[in-house]
Amino acid sequence: MKDAFIGRKYIIITFVILASLILLLRLFIIQVVKDTYRLSADNNVLRYVTQYPARGLIYDRNNKLMVFNQAAYDLMVVPAQVTSIDTAEFCKLLEIPVSSFRDRMNMAVSYSRRAPSVFLKQISAESYARFQEKLFSFPGFYVQPRTLRKYSKPIAGHILGYVSEVDESVVKKDPYYKAGDYIGKLGIEEAYEKYLRGRRGVSIYLVDVYSRIKGSYADGRLDTIAVQGEDVISTVDMDLQEYGELLMKNKSGSIVALEPKTGEVLALVSSPNYDPGLLVGRIRSENFMKLSADTSLPLFNRAIQAKYPPGSTFKPINGLIGLQENVTEPSTLFGCNHGYMFVGCHSHSSPLDLVHGISNSCNAYFCQVFRRILENPAYPSVEAAYEKWKEYLDQFGFGQRLGIEFTNELTGFIPSPAYYDRYYGKNRWKALTIISMAIGQGEVETTPLQMANMTAAIANRGYYFTPHIVKSIGTDGKPDQKYLTKHTIAIDSANFESIVTGMEEAVNGSAGATARVAAIKDIIVCGKTGTAQNSQGKKDHSVFIAFAPKDDPKIAIAVYVENAGFGATYAAPVASLMIEKYLNGEVTNKYSEQRMLELNLIAGD
């Protein structure tokens, strides 16, 4: 009995010793080896101050600075530390009403009395300079540095986009972002956000029970440094962009200019536009509401979102398809008696071959070409021939997003055979039913970007690169591979020559040529006018496409001037001025320039 008792005693003692050793070992690991446990335990006496990185800068194609950063500050508050302060002086320094002070303090207290929160966002450097001299008079307040966007010129708002505070949906979707962070919206700011944003840092401070900073935690060893975002070199020519916006002032419409050999966007103008500086800082929300309510739609990017009939600028495409499908030849003659069937036409010589059909913009000529395309005996039905016709258009990028970096690009519209089946009935439509498509009217809708891209493809005699807005990222980063991939159109390059000659004749030809107003001394411009019907019942849109020089194209352009009538009246002069400005650096036709600059097509609309 005694021996059993002694045995149980030793078992208990052994158990106690083992348990003590385990506890001691665990405490040693927690307190000595695993400093992270101590950090977790001390969270309630540490303050994490985010170090926000400066966003990357944005340059134009010639390395001219377009977007940079300016210092700004968030005023933070710890309500428990706020003692008696001169509220009137405080509000005067920050230029806010006293009622706003009370409301903001109530919000801070409802969040936490001892944890810091934002009292006032995005104080300008000027306001901060005044405030910091008196900051010691306002215990409980401190400043957290930020940066805001600044613009070299008040242009290119639709290209650049803007920066705004993340909302809850973004925070839930992307773990990188936290409440209070900023993110790019639209344009380059959105498309290249992951490069421009940089990487946040953090400074950890020891604070007392009243949330007063007592010094850096662990001598700053656990702090991380903010890394500035990468710079972006855009494809845009800032001077050309500025000039395009001046030409389109007091007009509604768009200009898109591309470098044909690369697909780089030289200028992308949407008018009316807005000063990107309006969407910076604390005034952003108020200005955004005003811009959104503006009936002229300055936030609407017409270059990639507006869908217009291309009008007669579409004729070169039908001419190309007719040649490729062997239903016409360059020498094929068609007569015109002021139109074809129920499609009218203006007075000009007749009959015409392909070159002069383009230069004179004969509706009858291209109606007959289109009819031959759809009634081609090589296909079993009009529907099958139409499918082939649409296939060519798909290759030019119509009816789809071209793939520019902007997320709000729209597709335009090229009807499918099923669309007409629903509208007219199966096998109940034919070439004459949809003959208006021959001259870029009817159901076809294109964006200015698509028309500029089509023009680039013609300039290249059968290929294009996806339009893009950025040349490089950082020191050696190149654009996405998809912007370096050539898209070849299944039309023989030889077939483009007659089309190019016709476009050359339209600008530089004799009487009857529709675009002679676009001619430039010592530069062979190839162009095509268009007058696009306006479905809203107002005056037709003035349209013009062009490229130059003829044999070594460096610029392809599409211009839409809404509610302005004939293509030669307004769109062609604008395009001509843009081409000369880009190729020569200055314009010689001062009369045309002054006329376009002074023209106001919005007043009294």
On whether the CB atoms of residues 575 and 518 are closer than 8 A, the answer is: yes
State the residue for tokens 């390059």: 493
Rounded Cα distance, 110 and 100, in Å: 15
Rounded Cα distance, 569 and 314, in Å: 18
Q: Quick one: how far is CA 233 from the chain centroid? A: 15
In the predicted model, what is the mean pLDDT of the chain? 90
Q: What is the pLDDT of residues 500-531, one digit of tens each?
A: 999 999 999 887 788 999 999 999 999 999 98
Class of CATH domain 52-78+104-126+142-234: alpha beta
The strand pairing partners of 207, in sequence order, are: 213
**pLDDT exceeds cutoff 80 at 220:** yes
On whether the CB atoms of residues 321 and 366 are closer than 8 A, the answer is: no
The domain ranges of the chain are: 52-78+104-126+142-234, 238-254+301-598
pTM of the model: 0.88
Other Cβ atoms less than 10 A from the Cβ of 600: the count is 10
Rounded Cα distance, 515 and 521, in Å: 14
CATH fold label, 238-254+301-598 = Beta-lactamase (3.40.710)
**pLDDT exceeds cutoff 60 at 32:** no
Task: Give mean pLDDT, residues 96-100.
Answer: 90
Rounded Cα distance, 386 and 379, in Å: 9
Helices (H), 486-548: 493-508
pLDDT value of residue 501: 97
Rounded Cα distance, 60 and 582, in Å: 14
**pLDDT exceeds cutoff 90 at 333:** yes
**pLDDT exceeds cutoff 70 at 209:** no
Task: Give mean pLDDT, residues 254-268.
Answer: 98
Q: Cα–Cα distances in Å, from 41 out to 34, 37, 114, 195, 288?
A: 12, 6, 18, 35, 44
DSSP-derived 3-state class of residue 257 = strand
pLDDT value of residue 65: 98
